[in-house]
């Protein structure tokens, strides 16, 4: 198996992680910005996603403060149903040894929390430089002998195994190979504000549980995101300007220090969504393996996914139950969807 030639199709962090971990394991045997907020969290609603996040977090910690900052994730609930859901998730997370705690949200200076009924916080979670992490993984892979082909159709490269880590393009590429993948591109957008004065360096990533509105510090600015009121399926990466106005209004209400701040830029990108918001991982045909459908979580799960996929491709036991992620689950009806989608 180690003598086989692998072609990893995909220019994003998932593909880079798979290539790096493959190269690292083979060497040991021998002796896109995209629409990525950069959040890294363990606070998911389903056990498989929590486990992926736990392993990935351990990798992010090794990258140092230049690439990862453990400022924590703070979830705020403003309704009783929202609070109940947060508590249910917290129980799932704590059962898996994730140190999520109930907290008083007023501990974060500057937040307006008069409407907040309860909050959860995990200090281990944080934010990362998404582009910087991708570059670091590519650098490590190339240093270990991986050949980097930019602006190249991977289907034209010779190899024994093709790994599709092509995000929102996976269904279209799979169709060329006679493979039907239930992956749909969903347009999402981000907004970055102008500089905010006296922005705390330890400001956590703040999430409103019911609406999904969330923001994080990036440099001296804030980056805003939120699930949109109606899904925009397709490939048109266009910014919805009324949403920019709405998000700035929400920011002013939740973080008054940023009231009146102007947007510096806004951009759109694509999530690769599956029906249950879990990724698809595994062999799907002879010489063809897929790693796609991450539903907005690819960046934060990439380190673990890269290691797990590399182990499986090399015939090793990845030590991780991949049954919830196999393509075959959809033929019998996908169950246990992930609900903590931001």
Query: pLDDT digits over 245-287, tens only?
Result: 999 999 999 999 999 999 999 999 999 999 989 999 999 999 9
Q: Rounded CA gap, 175 and 158, in Å?
A: 19
Which residue has better confidence, 26 or 117? 117
DSSP conformation letters of 292-316: E--TT-HHHHHHHHHHHHHHHHTT-
Instruction: Please tell me the class of the 6-332 domain.
Output: alpha beta
E strands, 47-203, in order? 68-69, 73-77, 100-103, 118-122, 126-128, 161-164, 184-193
What secondary structure letter does DSSP report for 278? -
Query: pLDDT digits over 176-186, tens only?
Result: 999 999 999 99
- Report helix, strand or coil for 119: strand
Q: Is the pTM of this model over 0.85?
A: yes
> Which structure tokens are listed for 316?
């090793």
Helix (H) or strand (E) holding 96: none
pLDDT score recorded for residue 41? 86
Q: Residue 120: how many CA atoms within 13 Å on its side-chain side?
A: 26
pLDDT score recorded for residue 335? 61
Query: pLDDT digits over 86-130, tens only?
Result: 999 999 899 999 999 999 999 999 999 999 999 999 999 999 998
Phi, then psi, of 185 in degrees rounded to 5: -75, 130
Q: How many CB atoms lie within 10 A of CB 96?
A: 14
- pLDDT band (50, 70, 90) for residue 150: confident
Query: pLDDT digits over 50-95, tens only?
Result: 888 889 999 999 999 999 999 999 999 999 999 999 999 999 899 9
Name, in order, each residue with C-beta under 8 angstroms of 69's C-beta and a sequence gap of 6 or more.
Answer: 126, 127, 128
pLDDT score recorded for residue 31? 47
- pLDDT band (50, 70, 90) for residue 26: confident
Q: How large a percentage of the chain has pLDDT more than 90?
A: 74
Domain boundaries, the chain: 6-332
Contact between 258 and 112 (Cβ < 8 Å): no
DSSP bridge pairs for 100: 122
Query: pLDDT digits over 152-204, tens only?
Result: 898 899 999 999 999 999 999 999 999 999 999 999 999 999 999 999 999 99
Q: How far from chain centre, in Å, is Cα 130?
A: 10
For the sheet with 126-128, list strands across it. 39-40, 126-128, 68-69
- pLDDT band (50, 70, 90) for residue 1: very low
pLDDT score recorded for residue 32? 44
pLDDT score recorded for residue 103? 95
pLDDT score recorded for residue 341? 64
């Amino acid at each position: 198996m180690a003598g086989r030639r692998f072609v990893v199709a995909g220019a994003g962090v998932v593909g880079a992680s798979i290539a790096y971990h493959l190269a690292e394991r083979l060497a040991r045997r021998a002796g896109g910005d995209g629409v990525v907020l950069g959040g890294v969290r363990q606070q998911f609603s389903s056990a498989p996603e929590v486990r992926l996040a736990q392993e990935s977090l351990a990798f992010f910690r090794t990258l140092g403060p230049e690439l990862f900052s453990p400022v924590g994730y703070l979830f705020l609930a403003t309704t009783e149903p929202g609070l109940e859901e947060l508590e249910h998730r917290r129980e799932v997370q704590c059962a898996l040894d994730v140190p999520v705690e109930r907290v008083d949200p007023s501990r974060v200076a500057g937040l307006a929390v008069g409407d907040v009924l309860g909050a959860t916080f995990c200090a281990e979670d944080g934010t990362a430089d998404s582009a910087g992490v991708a570059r670091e993984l590519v650098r490590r892979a190339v240093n270990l002998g991986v050949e980097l082909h930019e602006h190249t159709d991977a289907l034209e490269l010779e190899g024994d195994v093709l790994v599709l880590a092509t995000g929102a393009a996976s269904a279209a590429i799979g169709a060329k190979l006679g493979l039907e993948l239930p992956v749909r591109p969903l347009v999402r957008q981000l907004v970055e504000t102008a500089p905010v004065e006296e922005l705390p360096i330890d400001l956590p990533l703040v999430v409103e549980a019911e609406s999904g509105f969330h923001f994080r510090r990036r440099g001296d600015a804030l980056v805003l995101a939120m699930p949109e009121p109606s899904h925009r399926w397709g490939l048109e990466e266009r910014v919805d300007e009324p949403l920019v106005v709405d998000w700035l209004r929400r920011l002013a209400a939740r973080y008054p220090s940023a009231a009146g701040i102007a947007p510096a830029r806004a951009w759109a990108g694509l999530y690769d969504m599956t029906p249950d918001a879990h990724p698809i991982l595994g062999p799907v045909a002879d010489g063809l393996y897929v790693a796609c459908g991450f539903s907005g979580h690819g960046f934060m799960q990439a380190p673990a996914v890269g290691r797990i996929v590399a182990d499986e491709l090399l015939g090793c036991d990845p030590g991780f139950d991949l049954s919830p992620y196999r393509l075959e689950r959809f033929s019998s009806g996908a169950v246990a969807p992930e609900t903590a989608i931001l």
